[in-house]
Structure 1
Amino acid sequence: MKKAGLHQDWHVSCQLDAYKMAYRKKMNELHQMKRHIQIKQEHIDARMKEIGQKQQLTLHLEQERESIRAQAAALSTGTTYEQEYDARQQYYKLSRSLANDSELYLQHLASATYKGIVVSPDTLPFKHNRIQQLLLSLSREGYLIFEFRTSDSEFKLQQLHSNYYTFSDEAFMLGILEVLQDEPIILCSWVLQCAWYDLLPNRKIWYDICDSPDRLWGSNKAAQLKHWDLLSHSEWISYADESYKHLTYYRKDAHFIAFGNEERSAEWIKGSRKVEQNKSFTA
């Protein structure tokens, strides 16, 4: 009887040892599997980082290509800054007389409450969605934002979210601003935008330098003079990179808002001007 009990204990011990070995084997396999997954994830993360870097490089090269193409087109056609300015103004004036449906869109703004109006007319594409990030920062602080974006939609004014609208017709936007009867802040990032905002009787200019001179005004003397004019008459000057600081010249109040730190723009605007009382508009 005692011998049978010892045999049974030995059998149970063997089974436990077998279970332990099987458990250790499974745990080792699980550990190896986790390590394999970790290595795969590290490879995926590295590839995603490479893809992101290549996308940024592609965007930069696309911007450079567009700049070169525009310069080449200007050289081939002999178009000067003055000619482009005049052509744009004629287009805005002609289209403005036809854009008589502005009041139909004011219902979108019926419940808008805002600290001020900020408008970004048609401009060049910049890296890191520079303009959009600046506008988003101000929108979150209660400013009414209008950003130009090309669109195939039949609607000239579209609401992205609270206090943030896009428009696809600059002549139409002139009519909207006339009806609102406010003094908007124009976010200027390209010298040719003045062809549009020069048609506004009242406005304040925020000049943001966020690219190289070759792209923003090129070698045209009149365009370079417009840069100086913007430095003289803009209420706010900002720049996106330390390498652009020298372009602000005598404007000691120019503010550095680095790429990726655009959320600071609202704080800066509020701190550098008297914040008006909230306004509401009813169509």
Structure 2
Amino acid sequence: MLATIISNSNSMAACDENSTKLFELAKRVARTDVTVFINGPTGTGKEVLSKLIHTHSKRAQASFVAVNCAAIPENMLEAILFGHEKGSFTGASTANKGIFRAADGGTLLLDEISEMPISLQAKLLRALQEKSVTPIGSQTSIPVDVRVIATTNRNMVEEIKCGNFREDLYYRLNVFPLSTLSLSDRRLDIIPISTVLINRHCRNKEDIPYLAPSAQDLLINYAWPGNVRELENVIQRALVLSDGKTISSHDIIIDNALYENGSEAHIQNRLEKQAISG
């Protein structure tokens, strides 16, 4: 059975039994208000799964706010999370309430939580325990009501052993653990996901190309070290190269940067052939 879940313009599709079970488990935990910790390789849909949980929760009509803890400089992350008062530091020309308060009543996704500086983890733990935040430059604690979801692609036991992550914070976050799988471990999902991606990226919604059996075989048999993100890139290339009716095996080009050779030449060759035949 094909299960397709749409969440805020993000799609998850599954035919693999493990993926279907994961979706059902996510929808069950969504009905509660417990903190969820999602672990899995990069590109396996952790953020989309987080949005699925939000969409199926009692907080669905409130905000879903996501912050990537690895993408924000350490000296800015505290202010972004908890807010700051005007003039509390150089450049703070106005006050900012921070994303905890922006997500009040809704869901806060702490993406790549394992990359959060150890110096900031104690303040996050306190905010979770007390359900309140204190903006930088303020002495006032402000109550917040958020459902927290955290994600990582790291082995958290090793991160704790190495002193990179607080054990008490980990247990505060790891109330309900979920794990996403690599695409190579759920090959039955590859074609359903590809179909969703084709529909998402095809400009002409009235004439969506069909995946030829030869193209399906290529997709199913590739290792997909970059998981769904890599698959999405391949599908977007295929849509550019296809004749608009069918995506053939010749339109499936794997990125040569890390794993293969010659994809740029292959793309150029395909475009030249199209120009001649056109």
Question: Normalised by the size of structure 1, how large is the TM-score?
Answer: 0.26
Question: Normalised by the size of structure 2, how large is the TM-score?
Answer: 0.26
Based on CA coordinates, which of the two structures has the bigger radius of gyration? 1
Counting helix residues as a fraction of each chain, which structure ranks higher?
1
